Amino acid sequence: MSKEKKKKSAAREWLDALLFAVIAASLIRWLLLEPFTIPTASMEKSLLVGDFLFVSKMHYGTRTPRTIIQMPLTHQKIWGTDIPSYSDAIQLPYFRLPGFTSVKRNDVVVFNYPDEFEYPVDLKTNYIKRAIAIPGDIIEIKDTQVYINGEAGENPEEMQFSYDVLTNRPLNADFFDQFDINPDSYYPFSDNSGYMIFATDKMVEELRKSPAIASVTLRKSKEGQGDPNVFPDGSYLKWNKDFYGPLEVPAEGWTIEMTEENVIKYAFTIEKYEGHENVRVEANELFINNQKITSYTFKQDYYFMMGDNRHDSLDSRYWGFVPEDHIVGKAWFLWLSLEKHKTMFNKIRWSRFFNPIH
């Protein structure tokens, strides 16, 4: 007769249950869905600060882990500390499981912020933007309107720009709230003559009907006024956030001649994301491993991302293309939304629960 199996203690049962939960949550987070919170206003009013959503890893195919020495359910730091939650001693090659679609033009995509070189690719900060242009597209912005391959692009329904609003009297938060403009979306002028606001076309149309409003004028850059902060060299190319391009988005297998203009446009991307260890530019010529490069063939696809809040978004206009190996997943649906400027039950935006993301 076999001995009766020793019964587990309560503490051991709790430990086993906790271990199972951590493993299950880690697998779901890696393979299927990952929660994400909107931290900034760059996608308003399409996505709002305080929106909680799920990102689908399945749509574009799940990336296999590259940084494999990492504490489960963490990203860059151990919770509540500045202690790294990972070691980059072992880095695996990039590989993506099959998905059931690819990144389509105008998809809302979560990706690793490309310009954050202090972290491994899969542990860079997660950003969320709209894929305005996909590999092979030529993007251009004329007078705030995006053009793709020579045709006007589709504008998001809730797209915002910045405006100068002159007023007949000082206004308060209650006034702006009736137009769905929150306290983070308006700023008074120093002379108290009005406000700078971020708003959609519909919001501007309603504002102009108010007797408190003297005028509403779109704030925009001038054509030919180069912005040194714009990618790849706004000063030289005379590009800015409202007049930009044309610029072709690199695709895997695309070969270009390394002319002076192409060195300016693409050398940064080649240096940072194509896997070369020794890249330099001298006298507008590109060198890889000390060899002058006269033509170059790209090794992966790239994407051009922009926020729907066009004048309040740090996006590809400023830091360049998003490499395919930085794509995390497709923003799928909202499951909770909280308004930080409200209190109690007024904080909950009930109408946004379980909304799909377009």
Domains of the chain: 11-137+304-358 (2.10.109.10), 160-218 (3.30.70)
Do 261 and 236 form a contact (C-beta atoms < 8 A)? no
CA 220 – CA 217 distance, rounded (Å): 9
Alpha helix segments (H runs only) across the chain: 10-31, 173-177, 201-207, 234-237, 260-273, 316-319
Reported residue count of the chain is 358
Query: What does the pLDDT profile of the chain (358 residues) look like in tens digits?
Result: 444 556 667 777 677 666 656 665 666 666 678 889 999 999 999 999 999 999 999 999 999 989 999 988 788 999 889 899 999 999 999 999 999 999 999 999 999 999 999 999 999 999 999 999 999 999 999 999 999 999 999 999 999 999 999 999 999 999 999 999 999 999 999 998 999 999 999 999 999 999 999 999 999 999 999 999 999 999 999 999 999 999 999 999 999 999 999 999 999 999 999 999 999 999 999 999 999 999 999 999 999 999 999 999 999 999 999 999 999 999 999 999 999 888 888 899 999 999 999 9
Sequence-ordered strand ranges (E) for 125-274? 126-133, 138-142, 145-148, 151-152, 160-167, 186-188, 194-200, 213-218, 244-248, 255-257
Angle at Cα 49 formed by Cα 45 and Cα 50, nearest 5°?
Answer: 125
CA 234 – CA 105 distance, rounded (Å): 25
